Structure 1
Amino acid sequence: MLRNCILCCVLLVGASALATEFQPLEAKISPGHVPDMGELEAGLWMRVEQHETDVKNSPRRIRDDEINQYLHNILCRLSPDYCEDIRLYVTRVPFFNASMTPNGLMTVWSGLLLRVHNEAQLAAILGHELGHYLRRHGLDGFKDAKLKSNVATLLSLGFGFAAYTDNWNADVYSNANDIGQYILLASRYAHSRAAEREADQFGVQLMSEAGYDPFEAARVWKNIIDEEEAAKRGKLHGSPFFATHPAPKDRLATLDSYARILTANKAENGEIATERFMRHMMPY
């Protein structure tokens, strides 16, 4: 009881502090965008396409048409102008995670689908990843990586050491070194503090515009933080999601404040769609 009261106080304080800070975001990429050959972005896309081929052909990929279409429909509801630009793959990994690349590859782990409680919560995660794509965080990260050549050099040395010590198969070392350093650097930037704030805000904004209850975004984070704390008490390994998606408790307050702003002039908060979500997820 005391814990719930404290959480409510944190949310209310955060809401009042952030109430004037919400400015609607706009996409920085046009629907159907394809970079011109010779552009820096085209080089990034070529590198990431190999990664997408690996994901597409992975034995862990869940190919069930119904579940893939269900997630695609949510994407189209969140961002109808861009849904055909996104290729979404569900992979059988038991942890809570999702990722987005600059060329429109979205990966959702099956463990995430087991941990969200309704369609609105799933939309919150998909909207967050869409936020990274629409704000071009991955491309910005790639440009930043090119400027920070010393970081790339360190990563290259790391891959080289792994190959030398037989931790990597020497036959795949060169390809992994080439693709891996750029993907990792772009991903690292995409999950920087500023980019995460933007993706959080854009995700909640997309939820609200699509008619979902934006308060469910904060509830997602509360659920996974509770699970992480329970795992620590049980001396178990928590989700790797926190390695790239920092989720302090003040993030709950921020998301809650966004939801309050977006629903201030609405008669209803929006749809949660628990029954529809369960109908699609129960067979799995």
Structure 2
Amino acid sequence: MALALAIACAVPASLAPVSISAQNLPNLGDTDREELSPQMERKLGEEIMRDIRRDRDYLDDGPLNEYLNYFGSSLVAIHPEARGEAGYDYNFFAVRDPMLNAFALPGGFIGVHSALILAAQSESELASVLAHEIGHVSQRHIARMIGQQKQDALIPLAAMVMAALAARSSSNASAALMMGGQGYAMQRQLSFSRDAEREADRVGLQILGQAGFDTSGMISFFGRLQNATRAYNDSAPAYLRSHPLTTERIADIQARTRNQPYRQHADTLDFHLIRARTRVLQDLSPQGLRDAGTALENQLQQKNAIQTAAAKYGLAFLALRQGALDRAQTLLQESQASARSSGAAIKTSAYPSLAIDIKLAARQPDEALREAKAARERYPLSRGLVWQYADALIAGNKFDEAITFLRDQAQLYRSEQQLQDLLARAYAAQGKQALQHMALAESYALSGSLLAALDQLGIARRSPDASFYDQAVIDARERELQTRWREESKAGQAGQKGK
């Protein structure tokens, strides 16, 4: 349901046309601004993200998320106006889904389906999708959608969620829901949606141009999606259902790019490595992994250094997933050699991250730790390497060092559930039961599972090694979580009554 709400939130309201060269985008009227404050938008987005992170198809993969955030943040940085009056901190993430789609959540969260990453044939095409979604966020389309819904009164947000949920499996079911009653009001919402899509296109084109990408990437990607519609028979691709694509919209994009100078953007090695990694993550079933292997082997036939490096990287990742560690290590080294021969620079931690995972799987914690230390010096902003470094410390029985490191990290990054999970592992290895369950409680709380967190606090309280200080911390934290649970329960009951 959370993913459906995410998709629904990408569909919203109208605004006056904006020139591609405009620097100052129009402000919203006071009425729309009052409907959903920037602070409430962010809070709503965080609540939805807690649900998405619990979804089994959420891709909690360090190198993939690092690349998306590095790439997406570079687009935002080149166009500071994208942060809007709310000054949003953007967060980009991926979900495993065979449908081509991307979506914007309230408050600056942008999701991309794995199939879309694989379908993008160039970095300019992927940039066009992310820039378009950034346009939705920067123009506060979500707040304005909710504002218009309140004015119409006939279309509760829940109906939009249900329609978006149905659209993931059946466009006919979605159409039936959307035509089930308030036709006039729904028609207004559809027209708002088209205006919002055109506005997001214009903002996206601004970002693409300023970032030095080929603006025709948006046209080529949308054109391929439109052609793909024929292969879907009666069901259009998901991206077209949640982002209505009309001939007028394509014509508008073509008109705005016609006089733009052509810019050839060279794809980064990171882009190809991450696509190869995503191909393996797309389907982890035995058949899915075999299909990924076949596709990567076919990629080797291109006899291009970068394509070879990416294909062998993907095959090394695949070998790791299948437990063929010697093959994984050999392929990784061959991939790195091809990358060096191409002369391409790499800006993310895709290579060292895979090297560390191979060493850990081979039960070589000392070598993994050396790799992790060197990688953290080279990529100090990588959060995935932080978790791998702690993992290597625990695997090497350096529990005190791991706990000290993780507690320091947890103070700096209070919202990272992975740090609490690793802390729980380190405490468990030392037999510190109370601290283990207290860390697990924090992990559950961060994921939004408040009852499970309270259960863990209860276990911690009953642990034989719980000190007086631990008991005091448990009592205080239990009161905080109980208060939060009661508030969320009341909010949920109020929402049910309002339906």
**Is the radius of gyration larger for structure 1 or structure 2?**
2
Given the alignment, which residue of 117, 120, 135 partners 2:121?
117
> Which residue number corresponds to residue 225 of structure 2?
224
Count of aligned residue pairs for this structure pair: 223
CA contact (8 A) 1:191 1:245 kept: no
Provide closer, same or farther for how the CA distance between residues 51 and 153 of structure 1 changes in structure 2, counting only shifts above 3 A.
closer
Provide closer, same or farther for how the CA distance between residues 43 and 210 of structure 1 changes in structure 2, counting only shifts above 3 A.
closer
> Which residue number corresponds to residue 207 of structure 1?
208
In structure 2, C-alpha distance between the alignment counterparts of 1:108 and 1:99, rounded to whole Å: 7
Given the alignment, which residue of 251, 254, 258 partners 2:252?
254
Provide closer, same or farther for how the CA distance between residues 270 and 139 of structure 1 changes in structure 2, counting only shifts above 3 A.
farther
Given the alignment, which residue of 57, 62, 67 partners 2:54?
57
Aligned CA-pair RMSD: 3.3
> Which residue number corresponds to residue 127 of structure 1?
131
Choose 238-247 or 53-62, whichever is displaced more. Answer: 238-247
Cα deviation per residue 1:150-188 (whole Å; 9 max; x = unaligned)? 3229949x89xxxxxxxxxxxxxxxxxxxxxxxxx9xx6
Amino acid at match of 1:209: Q
Question: Is 1:70 matched up with 2:67?
Answer: yes
Choose 246-255 or 63-72, whichever is displaced more. Answer: 246-255
In structure 2, C-alpha distance between the alignment counterparts of 1:190 and 1:72, rounded to whole Å: 32
Provide closer, same or farther for how the CA distance between residues 25 and 114 of structure 1 changes in structure 2, counting only shifts above 3 A.
same
Cα deviation per residue 1:182-224 (whole Å; 9 max; x = unaligned)? xxx9xx6797111111101110110110010101110001111
CA contact (8 A) 1:128 1:202 kept: yes
Shift of 1:138: 1.0
Alignment of 1:72-87 (within 5 A): 72-80=69-77, 81=80, 82=83, 85-87=89-91
Alignment of 1:35-50 (within 5 A): 40-41=36-37, 42-50=39-47
Provide closer, same or farther for how the CA distance between residues 207 and 145 of structure 1 changes in structure 2, counting only shifts above 3 A.
same
Name the SS of the counterpart of 2:92 in structure 1: strand
Amino acid at match of 1:231: Y
Shift of 1:21: 6.1
Cα deviation per residue 1:1-22 (whole Å; 9 max; x = unaligned)? xxxxxxxxxxxxxxxxxxx965
Percent identical residues = 23
Amino acid at match of 1:256: Q
Alignment of 1:7-26 (within 5 A): 22-24=20-22, 26=24
> Which residue number corresponds to residue 178 of structure 2?
none
Name the SS of the counterpart of 1:89 in structure 2: strand
Shift of 1:106: 1.0
Provide closer, same or farther for how the CA distance between residues 45 and 78 of structure 1 changes in structure 2, counting only shifts above 3 A.
closer
Name the SS of the counterpart of 2:155 in structure 1: helix
User: TM-score, with normalisation over the residues of structure 1?
Assistant: 0.68
Name the SS of the counterpart of 1:107 in structure 2: strand
Provide closer, same or farther for how the CA distance between residues 93 and 28 of structure 1 changes in structure 2, counting only shifts above 3 A.
farther
CA contact (8 A) 1:138 1:189 kept: no
CA contact (8 A) 1:215 1:259 kept: yes
Choose 144-153 or 268-277, whichever is displaced more. Answer: 268-277
In structure 2, C-alpha distance between the alignment counterparts of 1:149 and 1:214, rounded to whole Å: 39
Cα deviation per residue 1:30-62 (whole Å; 9 max; x = unaligned)? xxxxxxxx9842445444432111012222111
Gaps of 5+ in 1: 1-19, 30-37, 160-184
Name the SS of the counterpart of 1:85 in structure 2: coil
Amino acid at match of 1:249: T
Gaps of 5+ in 2: 1-17, 28-33, 164-185, 279-499
In structure 2, C-alpha distance between the alignment counterparts of 1:92 and 1:153, rounded to whole Å: 25
In structure 1, C-alpha distance between the alignment counterparts of 2:192 and 2:277, rounded to whole Å: 33
Shift of 1:261: 3.2
Amino acid at match of 2:232: A
Amino acid at match of 1:97: N
Name the SS of the counterpart of 2:22 in structure 1: coil
In structure 2, C-alpha distance between the alignment counterparts of 1:123 and 1:24, rounded to whole Å: 20
Provide closer, same or farther for how the CA distance between residues 22 and 153 of structure 1 changes in structure 2, counting only shifts above 3 A.
closer
> Which residue number corresponds to residue 283 of structure 1?
277
In structure 2, C-alpha distance between the alignment counterparts of 1:154 and 1:220, rounded to whole Å: 31
Amino acid at match of 1:283: R
CA contact (8 A) 2:42 2:108 kept: no
Name the SS of the counterpart of 2:256 in structure 1: helix
Alignment of 1:230-241 (within 5 A): 230-232=231-233, 237-241=235-239
Shift of 1:281: 1.0
Name the SS of the counterpart of 1:246 in structure 2: coil
Amino acid at match of 1:278: H
Name the SS of the counterpart of 1:79 in structure 2: helix
Given the alignment, which residue of 66, 88, 93 partners 2:92?
88
Amino acid at match of 1:218: I
Shift of 1:112: 0.8
Shift of 1:276: 4.6
CA contact (8 A) 1:218 1:256 kept: yes
In structure 1, C-alpha distance between the alignment counterparts of 2:190 and 2:45, rounded to whole Å: 16
In structure 1, C-alpha distance between the alignment counterparts of 2:158 and 2:52, rounded to whole Å: 26
In structure 2, C-alpha distance between the alignment counterparts of 1:28 and 1:104, rounded to whole Å: 19
Amino acid at match of 1:196: E
